[in-house]
């Protein structure tokens, strides 16, 4: 399973959509690059705009790619999330009936991204609350919710099920078909990273790393999944916080080393995070180079640029070729 994550759109905040430009020609070209450029045999489609799963899934099938669907409803209630999963299951079954090889993920890091398992009004509050006493027992609540989610989707989807667990979450995989984790390497688990991969494999079921990647600044390898915090969102225009220096080699070296470990330890597969992030464009002015805080393997330019994302222009970062070399083996 050699793949990459592909965002179909998430409205993270009012006025901020991760995929404000969406055109079939761009999507088809990007998915073809996934196959022919990155040498992937799989793609993980994630996001909140579920109808785009159908379009992307069909393009992927035409290209011979296996498809993993990961519906993401940011800050939804448990009832809203179950409804979202039910709709995603219907779409997954539709794609499966058309001949697409589909795996359905019941969300991602739900203790942070869904309301109700951990105290907090929004996902940022819940991420902080995980370290506090009020979050005790979140794994039990997560397990109970995942059981409800399986009961919701099983009558609707006949293919394999899994869940993208966060580093801090413990999941009972007994009733899932695949073990899946967003297994980033960072300063806190660098010494145990290989052992963490072996632990995922201990159930005997296929173990897949659904996210692994690094932001594009010097020192981002130590930050792992928190590399996006290099952006300061507090002003009228998002900017890079002082002290962060763009470093494509950091991202490339990280992925080279992490994928080496995953291959050596026998992971069934992995999805690099991620192909492209149009909401974090590259800019010549370092203060506004949001791609520095992006995990994308391609960099794009903003709408004000002559060759902005809407023109179809993107450029490969050093990490793109690293992933391609691994997946070509």
User: What are the percentages of helix, strand and coil residues in the chain, rounded to 5?
Assistant: 40, 20, 40
Q: How far apart are CA 270 and CA 186, in angstroms?
A: 17
Determine the pLDDT at residue 131: 81
Q: How far apart are CA 264 and CA 232, in angstroms?
A: 37
Query: Cα angle at 110 between 198 and 58, to 5 degrees?
Result: 85
The residue written with tokens 């991620």 in the block is 274
Q: What is the pLDDT of residues 39-73, one digit of tens each?
A: 999 999 999 999 999 999 999 999 999 999 999 99
For residue 117, how many C-alpha atoms fall within 13 Å in the half-sphere facing its CB? 24
Looking at the predicted structure, is the pLDDT value of residue 193 above 80?
yes
Q: What is the pLDDT of residues 76-88, one digit of tens each?
A: 999 999 999 999 9
Neighbours of 291 (CB within 10 A): 26
Q: What percentage of the chain reaches a pLDDT higher than 90?
A: 95
Looking at the predicted structure, is the pLDDT value of residue 265 above 90?
yes
- So where are the chain's domains? 2-327
Looking at the predicted structure, is the pLDDT value of residue 191 above 80?
yes
Q: How many helices (H) and strands (E) does the chain have?
A: 10, 14
Q: How far apart are CA 26 and CA 12, in angstroms?
A: 22
Q: How far apart are CA 100 and CA 174, in angstroms?
A: 25
Range 2-327 classified under CATH 3.55.40.20: no
Q: How far apart are CA 60 and CA 50, in angstroms?
A: 15
Neighbours of 206 (CB within 10 A): 18
For residue 82, how many C-alpha atoms fall within 13 Å in the half-sphere facing its CB? 14
Looking at the predicted structure, is the pLDDT value of residue 15 above 80?
no
């Amino acid at each position: 399973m050699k793949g990459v994550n592909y965002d179909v759109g998430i409205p993270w905040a009012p006025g901020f959509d991760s995929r404000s430009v969406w055109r079939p020609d761009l999507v088809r070209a990007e998915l073809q690059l996934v196959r022919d450029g990155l040498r992937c045999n799989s793609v993980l489609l994630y996001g909140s705009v579920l109808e785009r799963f159908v379009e992307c899934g069909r393009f992927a099938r035409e290209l011979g790619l296996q498809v993993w669907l990961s519906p993401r409803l940011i800050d939804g209630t448990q009832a809203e999330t179950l409804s979202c999963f039910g709709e995603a299951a219907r779409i997954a079954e539709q794609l499966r009936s058309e001949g697409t090889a589909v795996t359905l993920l019941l969300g991602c890091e739900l203790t942070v991204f869904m309301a109700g398992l951990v105290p907090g009004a929004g996902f940022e509050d819940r991420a902080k609350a995980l370290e506090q006493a009020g979050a005790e027992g979140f794994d039990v609540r997560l397990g109970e919710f995942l059981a409800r989610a399986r009961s919701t989707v099983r009558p609707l989807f006949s293919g394999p099920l899994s869940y993208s667990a966060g580093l801090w979450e413990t999941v009972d995989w007994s009733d899932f078909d695949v073990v899946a984790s967003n297994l980033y390497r960072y300063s806190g688990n660098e010494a145990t990273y290989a052992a963490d991969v072996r632990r995922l494999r201990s159930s005997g079921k296929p173990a897949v790393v659904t996210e692994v990647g690094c932001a594009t600044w010097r020192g981002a390898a130590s930050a792992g999944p928190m590399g996006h915090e290099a952006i300061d969102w507090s002003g009228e225009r998002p900017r890079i916080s002082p002290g962060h220096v763009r470093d494509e080699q950091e991202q490339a070296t990280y992925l080279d080393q992490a994928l080496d470990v995953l291959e050596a330890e026998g992971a069934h597969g992995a999805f690099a995070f991620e192909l492209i992030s149009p909401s974090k464009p590259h800019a010549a002015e370092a203060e506004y180079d949001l791609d520095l805080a992006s995990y994308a393997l391609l960099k794009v330019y903003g709408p004000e640029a002559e060759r902005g994302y809407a023109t179809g222009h993107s450029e490969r970062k050093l990490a793109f070729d690293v992933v391609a070399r691994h997946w070509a083996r």
